Amino acid sequence: MFKDSSVTCKNCSCRWPNFDNLTDTQLDLLNGSRFQAKFKPGEIIFKQGSPTSNAIFLTSGFAKLYMEGYDGKNIILAIAKPGRLISGPGTYVDNRHHYSLASLVETTACFVDTSVIKKLVMENNLFAEGYLKDISRKSLDTFHKLLSFSQKKMHGRLAEGLIHLSDDIFESQRFHCYLTRQELGEMTGMTKESVVRLLKEFHDENIIKIEDHIIEIIDKPKLQKIMISG
Amino acid sequence: MFKDSSVTCKNCSCRWPNFDNLTDTQLDLLNGSRFQAKFKPGEIIFKQGSPTSNAIFLTSGFAKLYMEGYDGKNIILAIAKPGRLISGPGTYVDNRHHYSLASLVETTACFVDTSVIKKLVMENNLFAEGYLKDISRKSLDTFHKLLSFSQKKMHGRLAEGLIHLSDDIFESQRFHCYLTRQELGEMTGMTKESVVRLLKEFHDENIIKIEDHIIEIIDKPKLQKIMISG
DNA sequence: AATTAATATTGATTTATATCAACACCCAAA
DNA sequence: TTTGGGTGTTGATATAAATCAATATTAATT
């Protein structure tokens, strides 16, 4: 663990937006109780089943948030990036993580003791409301994913996944996709073989362009059409 | 709309547990701003896309909470019964319902203006925390459902659905299942035809007993085994 | 540089599950 | 009493997607 003293929770450019609701004193409390850590690509930041001792916020990098399923098969629930609270609903249920978090690239993260977050919830209503908003939004995302998984076919789910990565995660038409084919499959509910085949299909139809791990969306309208109809 | 003046939020036996955190004054406020309504079986209580003007609590009956999907296909997210907050995450995101609610049987419900709930969140931290706990638990349920949908096969999902209905919803080994085969399919992610076939299969293997809409779980261990492995 | 281990790719085959079609049943309405 | 829409049931068929298997490629390690 290390701590860069020049950056604090007060001036952090990638802090969780809900921290805007805190007073200076509260931000100081937060800053005083946080620890930073650095992770190499592929390292596990926390593990499903372990205690939710800390709330986690990435300060750089990307990580996958995944559930470990029934016979070694995982499902990726979301890709985490800086500015997002990662602590999981277990915090307010059974103090256990219900999914694991692993870095996709070199990643730095702040750890804040859960009790500090809970204390802030109890003494700052705006912060509590912000927390509710945050968890509500994530809830909607999960509902959407559930609908997508249960009603769309592979084409639609992959198209949706690619657009999500482009719009929300990497924020570019052309991005280095840190996910393996296996992981893309875990994100969109299909096998790695199917991912390969479909990516090739999209490529052949000039919808996307793939060079190794760089994905470029060429024909977004077409991809959106597939996302909606498929 | 009618109002039974003998029952108030103070003495209501099926109120949302989080109301325990309110003061008497707050309970009075709540009680003063609520309206009750009665629904016949199959009636829509609120519709996906409509404004989340009210938080809803059933006081009797059962209702299905479902998303309307892509080509007329629905997915049932949960079965609601008295004691549960039904308002949906949209309340704290975009003020729109992201799923619909329809009664399965004759059902009565209390409507509380969303602004009242939000006011209580802002002035009572314990209540806010209770709300966080509630939404967190529901979040976990959705994660679980997502995992189930993406990794289990039909047998496993149906077994899981039946156990859920028995344990959590109707709280009996033998229950009148108000859901049609179609709805059981929407709940477990399969077609009505598959539901029929599998129910028959479970019946033939003496795992359950079916007489019309009465379902009885005969061999729960076996059903649990199917739920886990399938 | 050599060896191993992960990942990616491709094709052939199998399987789970949806779809389609036909019919029986029951309840509500004309 | 008949009609008709929703529901339930069964069987035959189609199809999406997983699995299996083999090979290619890239990355990691000695």
- Domains of chain B plus CATH, in order, are 17-140 (2.60.120.10), 151-229 (1.10.10.10)
d(CA A195, CA A180): 10
Which residues, in sequence order, are bridge partners of residue B216? B174, B209
Hey, which residues does B63 pair with through a beta bridge?
A: B80, B103
**Is B181 near strand D, with its CB below 7 A from some atom of it?**
yes
The answer to whether the beta carbons of residues B121 and B127 sit under 8 Å apart is: yes
Residue B223 parent element (H or E)? helix B220-229
Count Cβ–Cβ pairs < 8 Å, chain A vs chain B. 131
| A52: Cα within 13 Å, side-chain hemisphere | 21
**Contact B146/A151, CB-based, under 8 Å?**
no
Chain A partners within 8 Å of B149 (Cβ): 146, 149-150
pLDDT digits (tens, 9 = 90+) for A143-169: 999 999 999 999 999 999 999 999 999
Given CB atoms, is A121 within the 8 Å cutoff of chain B? yes
> What is the distance in angstroms between the Cα of B39 and the nearest Cα belonging to chain A?
26
Gyration radius of chain B's alpha carbons: 19
Q: Return the residue of A nearest to B150 by Cα.
A: A189
Amino acid identity of A76? I
CA–C1' gap, A44 and D29, in angstroms? 22
Amino acid present at A198: L
Contact assignment for B67 to A135 by CB distance below 8 Å: no
Q: How far apart are the first and last CA of chain A?
A: 46
pLDDT tens for chain B, 230 residues: list them.
455 568 999 999 999 999 999 999 999 999 999 999 999 999 999 999 999 999 999 999 999 999 998 888 999 999 999 999 998 899 999 999 999 999 999 999 999 999 999 999 999 999 999 999 999 999 999 999 999 999 999 999 999 999 999 999 999 999 999 999 999 999 999 999 999 999 999 999 999 999 889 999 999 999 999 999 87
8 Å CB contact of A147 and B75: yes
Q: How far apart are CA A98 and CA A54, in angstroms?
A: 14
Nearest to A164 by CA among A179, B174, B113: A179
Please give, chain by chain, protein residues whose CB is below 7 Å from any atom of strand C.
Answer: A 180-182, 192-193, 196-197, 199-200, 210, 213; B 153-155, 189-191, 193-194
A82 φ/ψ angles, rounded to the nearest 5 degrees: -55, 145
Which chain B residue is nearest to residue A130, measuring alpha carbons?
B92
